[in-house]
Structure 1
Amino acid sequence: MAKPEREFSSGTAVEWTPVPGSACPGLDERVLASDGHVATRILRFAPGTDTTPNGVQLHDFWEEVDILTGSITDLCGQTFTEGAYACRPPRMPHGTWRSPDGCTRFEVRYPDSG
């Protein structure tokens, strides 16, 4: 199954839904396109969201993240703000995150080809 073919449409037509499997409230996503292995989504942290209950994240896919609005702070106390970008290879530890004022991120995930 491939991602669906779509011409320009409103991303806001896609409903916000809680992130499946998340142990923390306030973490919602808009999955813009997915084939079950590859996904493009917008991830929203409500003000006050703390992902500590989810633990440090490791996954078997590549992930690219761009912060659109707001900010997040990691375990080391480093804060990332609007315009910050990350490209994470498979199995790279990241998180946990806190977002006192909220944050919206654009994310693209794709499989490891190596």
Structure 2
Amino acid sequence: MSRPQSEFHHPEAPWQRPPGASDGVWEQVLAVDPETGDATVLQRYEPGTDTSGQGSVRHDYFEEVYVLEGSLTDLRLGETFTAGMYAYRHPGMEHGPWTSTEGVRMLVIRVHGHARQS
């Protein structure tokens, strides 16, 4: 199976707090493959969000992030990322924790590793 195909439409999924996420972090699922967990989501941080309490994170999947609007600061790196910036992370890459003074909205694509065929 794969993510269900769909033509242009207005997403109907509600904004929800992801499991274990800090206060102020929300996601709207645009598409998900229930078998692999691969997903495309919109993610937003409310103004003033601070994820310091959860520390830096690592995922077991590839992650692409495109900042649509606003900004967020990686406290570990001391760098602020703004609209139009893009990240591509391999599984296990450390990132965060984050703060967002003004709030941020991002497109996030998560792809779990698939076995390579020879």
Q: TM-score, normalised by structure 1?
A: 0.92
Following superposition, which runs of at least 4 residues in structure 1 exceed 2 angstroms of deviation? none
Superposition pairs of residues 58-97 of structure 1, within 5 angstroms: 58-75=58-75, 76-97=77-98
Q: Deviations over 1:50-95 (max 9, x none)?
A: 1112221111110000000000001132100000000001100011
Amino acid corresponding to residue 3 of structure 1 in structure 2? R
The alignment of Structure 1 onto Structure 2 pairs a total of residues equal to: 112
1:18 is paired with a residue whose SS is coil
The answer to whether residue 103 in structure 2 is matched with residue 105 in structure 1 is no
Q: Give the alignment's Cα RMSD to 1 decimal.
A: 1.2
Distance across 2 between alignment mates of 1:111 and 1:26: 26
Amino acid corresponding to residue 34 of structure 1 in structure 2? V
Whose radius of gyration is greater, 1 or 2?
A: 2
Distance across 1 between alignment mates of 2:84 and 2:70: 10
Find the counterpart in structure 1 of residue 56 from structure 2.
Answer: 56
Distance across 2 between alignment mates of 1:40 and 1:54: 23
In the TM superposition, residue 21 of structure 1 has moved relative to its aligned partner by: 1.8
Residue identity over aligned pairs, in percent, reads 44
Which 5+ residue runs of structure 1 have no aligned equivalent? none
Which 5+ residue runs of structure 2 have no aligned equivalent? none
